[in-house]
Amino acid sequence: MEKFKRLKNEGNDFVKTGEYEEAANKYSECMKLNTEECTVYTNRALCYLKLYKYEEAKRDCDHVLQIEDSNIKAFYRRALAYKGLQVRKKNRAGI
């Protein structure tokens, strides 16, 4: 549990400095220790959104909503992921 907290805090520090790839990696390490902790999934989803990895963000939010069906952050970030996917789809259609 101590290692989980340390990794999560390191991920949070990376988010604060805008280092989203590094933060996502820390949250991924957390998930290896505890797959039921929803905050690391919503945090990693935020990182994926910042990195324009919308499908990955959606997948993390879907996972959270299977565990906590009323998680507001997961709903909001999944909506942002869907929006990003739609924009990407429209851009491809215009190319």
Domain residues of the chain, as ranges? 1-93
- Burial of residue 46 (CB within 10 Å: 0-12, 13-18, 19+) is buried
Is a pLDDT exceeding 60 seen at residue 95? no
Largest CA distance in the chain: 49
Q: Kindly report the CATH number that applies to the domain delimited by 1-93.
A: 1.25.40.10
What band does 56 get if pLDDT is binned at 50, 70 and 90? very high
pLDDT digits 0-9 by tens, 5-45: 999 999 999 999 999 999 999 999 999 999 889 999 999 99
Cα(43)–Cα(74) distance, integer angstroms? 9
Indicate the Cα dihedral angle 15, 5, 74, 48, nearest 10°.
40
Phi, psi of 72 (to 5 degrees): -65, -45
